[in-house]
Amino acid sequence: MQKIGVFVCWCGSNIAGTVDVEAVAEALKSVPGVVYSVSYQYMCSAAGQKLITDAINEYKLDGIVVASCSPRMHENTFRKTAEAAGLNPYMVEIANIREQCSWIHKDKEEGTKKAIVLAKAAVAKLKNDKPLKAGTSQVTKRALVIGGGIAGIQTALDVADAGYEVDIVEQRPTIGGRMAQLDKTFPTLDCSACILTPKMVEASQNEKINIISYAKVEKVSGFVGSFKATIRKKARFVDETKCTGCSLCMQKCPSKKGKDEFNMNMNNRPAIYIPFAQAIPNVAVIDPEQCIKLKTGKCGLCEKVCAAGAINYKMEDELIEREYGAIVVATGFKPIDPSPLNEYGYAENADVVTSLELERLMNAAGPTKGTLLRPSDGKHPHEIVFIQCVGSRCDENTERGKPYCSKICCMYTAKHAMLIRDKYPDTNVHVFYIDVRTPGKNFDEFYRRAVEQYGVDYIKGMVGKVAKEGDKLMVRGSDLINNQQVEIAADLVVLATAIEPDPSARSIGTMLTASMDTNDFFTEAHAKLRPVESPTAGIFLSGVAQGPKDVPETVAQASAAASKVIGLLAKDHLVTNPCVAESNELMCNGCSQCEKVCPYGAITYIEKEVRGPGVREVRRIAQVNPAVCQGCGACTVACPSGAMDLKGFSNKQIMAEVDQICL
């Protein structure tokens, strides 16, 4: 019979308010095996922990049950307490009598009864607990950053600054991401490229940073501290080490029908191209869909003009396999495609553009060389209508868009309006909005300037229809403040489209087993307390991949993620989760059922002589690699003989809990 101590926490009045904690402590005293049972105001406090430590020593306890808040809160706290007192930290069970009892039940008698059952179930589980020893695993002192936008760059720079190697994997031919496409940034109106490109250069010049552009992460295995990633570096057909970025090939390339992705497909680019002038790496890339040589075997002009001899039409995708201690997800976002939102007529009218397209239309490196001209006829627009919340803040039950606020649209629209009014005072700017949200440093001042100083016409209301009439776009909407319908004959309509995670995020999330919300934003380990970590150990979140945010927020989060990465890489060893699967070789059939459901490939088979009561023969048996196993337990159910069990959540432990609960 074990010696078990039970510690019931009041959590001030959080628990004690609806659960008679003393009655719980009293009831647990008569459970066989329980030799000590007590309640206390705050078990997690220093005094509470001392109470536990003293009891462990005085009563020579084999295990403790703490009836308190959720194990997700304080399981670790109490494990450490136990360990400090010389008890195996895994001989600790938590009965969740706060979140799952006192906070949801109002009737004290009922709550008390349930708390007793939960505590008894924890005791029953504890009786089947075995002391577990956590193993250690090595930490590979290198980080992988997926995504080379401002978030990825900032994280990489900070991690590299701390002295660790970082690989940035970027799917496009250059790093820079969305920020590189922006013209100016709010609320300071400084030029986006001017502040971003130095960072890009810094990253490329940092010895610790290795930029793998035009590549994607194809496979990730392993676990915190020792991930192994397979990266597919797509064939550029241009030797990165030789290309000087002279762009002569671009001029000579006869195929000029490729869409310029950097300029939101608003103009064409050659088949061989450098996405933009400040691209890093400043190396050309051949679009195999457009290249005549690659498609027909004829041409080869670029090869001829390239003095560096960098062109290589035979280049193939390259697979890079590297190990990492930590992975940062900085996959960023894209604006949604507003075409399905028929009322805005985006698909039909060239002069209905998204805000990001407008950025390019206003940028000196853009399709119009920085002069605002409307796409349809290249004329100056004189009436411009901005429509806010396009695809944002939608009813969750419709398919029309996203339920969340995209957060950055109010501010960039103010920016756009202001810039246009500043540069083209003859142009009228109207903004249809639902709410204007400006909670940021100098944000509201900025917005007020747009309205007060630049005379931007803000109309609170929704747009019902954008229809082409002649060369005008008739925007019909409602003005809620004046309670009237309005109609504006616009030359250009700009949609502040919602942003959504980059389409690559979902597959990366699956690959990393990092959880995501229903909108495909990565979920943080704790919304408030661990905002830059994924629940999956070793995976960190940087930038919009976690949720909409503007540049300064992104940078802040990127640095925060970097500090978490640095904290991890600074360790030589990690303590592994000992709650892993284990196969009892005497009962194992070697049938491979478990192996098939293991998501980590942690199970292998060996031929081994097994010995036990009445048994001595060579059998094929399963073996679990405890460093690879993550403890999901899929194998335990696939195993018909029950040979496979999960430490810390064993069949017997769970059944003991079931038994108590159903009593």
| Subset of residues 562 to 581 that bind another protein, contact rule: CB under 8 A | 579
Give min distance, CB of 660 to another protein, in A: 7
Residue 634, interface with another protein (CB under 8 A)? yes
Give min distance, CB of 21 to another protein, in A: 16
Instruction: Give the bridge partners for 624, in sequence order.
Output: 603
Give min distance, CB of 510 to another protein, in A: 6
Give min distance, CB of 625 to another protein, in A: 15
Residue 637, interface with another protein (CB under 8 A)? yes
Give min distance, CB of 336 to another protein, in A: 20
Q: 108 vs 472, which CB is nearer to another protein?
A: 108
Restricted to residues 110-149, the positions that interact with another protein (CB under 8 A) are 110-111, 113-114, 117-118, 121
Span near another protein by CB under 8 A; candidates 204-212, 289-297, 463-471, 629-637: 629-637
Residue 586, interface with another protein (CB under 8 A)? yes
Give min distance, CB of 601 to another protein, in A: 12
Residue 159, interface with another protein (CB under 8 A)? no
Phi and psi at 656, nearest 5°, equal: -65, -40
DSSP class of residue 99? I
Residues 229, 508: Cα–Cα separation, whole Å:
11
Q: 340 vs 599, which CB is nearer to another protein?
A: 599
Span near another protein by CB under 8 A; candidates 201-209, 234-242, 538-546, 638-646: 638-646
Nearest alpha carbon to residue 129 among 95, 96, 97, 92: 92
Number of residues that bind another protein (CB under 8 A): 80
Q: 107 vs 289, which CB is nearer to another protein?
A: 107
Span near another protein by CB under 8 A; candidates 198-206, 440-448, 546-554, 647-655: 647-655
On whether the CB atoms of residues 410 and 447 are closer than 8 A, the answer is yes
Rg (the chain; Cα; Å): 31
264: left (phi over 0), alpha (psi -120 to 50) or beta: left
Restricted to residues 513-542, the positions that interact with another protein (CB under 8 A) are 513, 515-518, 523, 535-536
Residues 250, 371: Cα–Cα separation, whole Å:
24
Report the residue from 247, 531, 605, 625 that binds another protein according to the rule CB under 8 A: 605
Q: 464 vs 640, which CB is nearer to another protein?
A: 640
Report the residue from 49, 96, 388, 428 that binds another protein according to the rule CB under 8 A: 96
Give min distance, CB of 531 to another protein, in A: 14
Phi and psi at 297, nearest 5°, equal: 90, -10
Collapsing DSSP to helix, strand or coil, 294 comes out as: helix
On whether the CB atoms of residues 266 and 252 are closer than 8 A, the answer is no
Residue 647, interface with another protein (CB under 8 A)? no
Q: 15 vs 466, which CB is nearer to another protein?
A: 15
Collapsing DSSP to helix, strand or coil, 333 comes out as: strand
Residues 544, 108: Cα–Cα separation, whole Å:
45
The interface mask with another protein, positions 173-212, x = CB under 8 A, is ----------------------------------------
Instruction: Name every residue whose Cβ is closer than 8 Å to that of residue 411 and which is 6 or more positions away in sequence.
Output: 186, 187, 438, 440, 443, 446, 447, 550
Residue 76, interface with another protein (CB under 8 A)? no
Residues 88, 289: Cα–Cα separation, whole Å:
62
Phi and psi at 435, nearest 5°, equal: -140, 155
Q: 98 vs 208, which CB is nearer to another protein?
A: 98
Residues 70, 363: Cα–Cα separation, whole Å:
53
Report the residue from 587, 608, 623, 625 that binds another protein according to the rule CB under 8 A: 587
Span near another protein by CB under 8 A; candidates 302-310, 395-403, 412-420, 634-642: 634-642
On whether the CB atoms of residues 152 and 542 are closer than 8 A, the answer is yes
Residue 591, interface with another protein (CB under 8 A)? yes
Q: 32 vs 470, which CB is nearer to another protein?
A: 32
The structure tokens listed for 544 are 């919009």
Residue 589, interface with another protein (CB under 8 A)? yes
Span near another protein by CB under 8 A; candidates 231-239, 299-307, 353-361, 510-518: 510-518
Report the residue from 49, 137, 282, 636 that binds another protein according to the rule CB under 8 A: 636
Restricted to residues 6-65, the positions that interact with another protein (CB under 8 A) are 30, 32, 62
Question: What does the CA dihedral 635, 637, 639, 641 come to, rounded to 10 degrees?
Answer: 140
Q: 32 vs 378, which CB is nearer to another protein?
A: 32
Residues 644, 646: Cα–Cα separation, whole Å:
7
Collapsing DSSP to helix, strand or coil, 215 comes out as: strand
Q: 451 vs 597, which CB is nearer to another protein?
A: 597
Q: 192 vs 534, which CB is nearer to another protein?
A: 534
* Helix (H) or strand (E) run with residue 551 in it: helix 551-569
DSSP state string for 462-478? -EEEEEEETTEEEEEEE
Residue 431, interface with another protein (CB under 8 A)? no
Chain centre distance of CA 163: 24
Give min distance, CB of 123 to another protein, in A: 13
DSSP class of residue 577? P
Restricted to residues 234-273, the positions that interact with another protein (CB under 8 A) are none
Give min distance, CB of 15 to another protein, in A: 11
Residue 86, interface with another protein (CB under 8 A)? no
DSSP class of residue 526? B
Give min distance, CB of 16 to another protein, in A: 16
Residue 397, interface with another protein (CB under 8 A)? no
Q: 217 vs 417, which CB is nearer to another protein?
A: 217
* Helix (H) or strand (E) run with residue 606 in it: strand 603-612
Residues 110, 95: Cα–Cα separation, whole Å:
16
Span near another protein by CB under 8 A; candidates 178-186, 304-312, 479-487, 586-594: 586-594
Collapsing DSSP to helix, strand or coil, 663 comes out as: coil
Report the residue from 59, 103, 313, 454 that binds another protein according to the rule CB under 8 A: 103
H-state helical runs in 11-106:
13-16, 21-28, 46-59, 71-84
Expressed in angstroms, the distance from the first to the final Cα of the chain is 21
Buried b (16+ CB within 10 A) or exposed e, 390-419: bbbbbeeeeeebbebbbbbbbbbbbbbbbb
The structure tokens listed for 207 are 């010895």
H-state helical runs in 289-442:
292-296, 301-305, 355-362, 409-423
Residue 657, interface with another protein (CB under 8 A)? yes
Give min distance, CB of 57 to another protein, in A: 17
Span near another protein by CB under 8 A; candidates 109-117, 184-192, 228-236, 413-421: 109-117
